A and B are shown apart, each in its own frame.
With several copies, the nearest count.
Chain A
């Protein structure tokens, strides 16, 4: 199981702040594709992904128990 966190506009689009999924040994890119099929409108805009609180690349492999955050464009300050 992995945990996926949703923030800001993505929370509103999915209706969730987090969920647990069976997904490991595959890439960040594959996870995003799967989630985009599941949630309409999720692909709008640039989404970055963090694995265990650090930014990840599309080709990085997601491991069992990872905490994945979907990060829409940030706007702090």
Chain B
């Protein structure tokens, strides 16, 4: 496994938790995002995720680097699954370790927000009577730091 990866099979969170553990890590947060059955009163049958894989893995690694620079002594691992996902399947796992707990929560939440902003992954929701590619309208104007 890689610390930052796009996968096409079931995600087991444990390897990611273990990958960020080290002797001065007092706290680890593992976030998993799951396919929900109901969203705003509409019943989801399944989801289909697509990614621009090489760029998505680069952007996940960039998020890890941003965190490790912003919060000293943290370590990060992130995986996102693509393909067809059923209800309750894990779409994304984010593991963050830190010496102290507060940062482990804060940095983990930062990671999911950044994923929704900059990582080229797209979700299609398939309902009983239709389907749609979801755009969260969270993309911001490109800023200097994100350029090649």
Contact = CB atoms under 8 A, between A and B. Distances in A.
B69 interface: no
Contact of B58 (A5, A53, A57): A53
Contact of B146 (A9, A55, A71, A76): A55
Interface in A45-77: 45-46, 48, 50-57, 69, 71-77
Give the interface size class of chain A.
Answer: 20 to 34
Interface string B45-60: 0000111101110100
B64 to A, nearest CB: 15
B116 A7 contact: no
B148 A7 contact: no
Nearest to B132: A9
A55 B117 CA distance: 12
B148 A76 contact: no
A7 B146 CA distance: 20
A8 interface: yes
Given A45-B135, A48-B139, A72-B133, A77 B115 contact: yes
Interface stretch (B8-16, B17-25, B118-126): B118-126
Contacts of A73: 135-139
A1 B137 CA distance: 32
B58 to A, nearest CB: 6
Contacts of A57: 142, 147
Contact of B135 (A53, A75, A77): A75
Interface in A5-59: 5, 7-9, 12, 45-46, 48, 50-57
A56 B119 contact: no
A73 B137 CA distance: 6
13 contacts: A5-B52, A7-B120, A46-B139, A73-B138, A74-B116, A74-B119, A75-B133, A76-B91, A76-B120, A76-B121, A76-B122, A77-B80, A77-B115
